[in-house]
Structure 1
């Protein structure tokens, strides 16, 4: 089976560009054509066709050729491609110095990711220096400084990370997310993860100075204080299964208006779209415990045009939560 014609054309253009990259002043088209095994007219047509095949900016405004070509004469003056004897290629100017343009928004995301990594790698001096350089230059004055709650949370993550690495217990004063009150727990930290809710700690609850077999998840945003204790611990066998069971989700099929689908995304670990039209969307939301309270809050925020299909036992979760809230604030 012979090689398709379009494959041969693409191969010739690729090899021609590679060769041109080695010659800043360009090459005679005839010599370049001979190098890639074709004639000058064919190569000229293929180069012109390839570089006319740009994506319409209306569909992809960021689709920019990484290399530009120029048809010119022996003195370097631009001429029409149809009569040019020479061709040259050059990369985008920023690539010549090993850099490219990045938006401030992209830099801010890089900065946040770097801060997250630095929180669990406090000794990473190279990363710390890079982040400092960002805040001192292009991100100066954009609120990335390490003050206030962000700095406190960073210190907390660093403390928890230290306890994880050294396998030492933690004493946590914690404001529970779904129940009233603040409690103090002694825990064995097993895993620190970053989710859409922020930093979360999976830890074993210590009872009578020993791991009692129960695993909990603590939002670091709910931690009022954390103290690394002198007591160490050994990671129990099968603890990963306990963490997985604690984080097991329940699937809930519901219908919501298109402009409320963000609410479902907000309260779910993951979401599947089962069907949609211009106005409504059917979704399968995978919810963490406590499922009824979480779903109830989702339904209240999404509004009365959102309802549950299955499980039927959860259809009144929003009404039940609204009734409880009304009773709480009117009693």
Structure 2
């Protein structure tokens, strides 16, 4: 009887979470409990299992674009935003993040890529909502743009408001891309903004073959990068990004990978940390960081980081490439520049 009662309570909670009204504004991140988020994600995984297919929601306003030769359809969602208020930066978490990604622990800065980790719960809430038009299964992070308008360390004691919104869906032969905008606000001022592009691969999509090597551009310098075997789990603990293919060999194998792969944002942040350490740089101004994620970086592993001198001029663009040491297959390409 006791077990039956417990089971009934659990089922009731699950039904309540699934059928409850979805909020658009949260007054604190504690309202986004992992229990509710996991239930919502699992429910949507079961309900929408087909990748690369748009499931438009009747409650949203969409504006269609013209597309082009490659993009057969563009649709912008005008009113799909989640806002979370009362966010504070955890200094202890920042210190752990800096250690994991290789930053100088004593420079007082908050890394350029760190702010994205604050958005993990709101992002999961957005993707698991009924209004999100793609299945959560197999979403691939393919591009990232970051703009820092004011260094986050200036708001270490302040409360921030996070906004996560869907900007555009684009239909291609290989699947559907979606742009998700991330904004960190202090009062009415945007201090940090990111644009994340995810790909939901279609069933007819086939990976394009790539040569084992190739000309990936000319770079002035290069260094080796070590990829520890436990950095996936450690990064997940800090950021909340628990995607199974980043964790263990068995969980990565279930998703089609021979070994776990490093988080793309860890790899990107690790390269910026290396630049800052080698040149004793402080990114305390207005900067833009753009990145395209190419191929998985397996853990443990070795990679090569190639880059330009970022200190040549204030407005110069520093190009960055991370590639496999033996085959020269690129893992990511990026550029860092000062905005003003």
- Larger gyration radius, structure 1 or structure 2: 1
More helix by share: 1
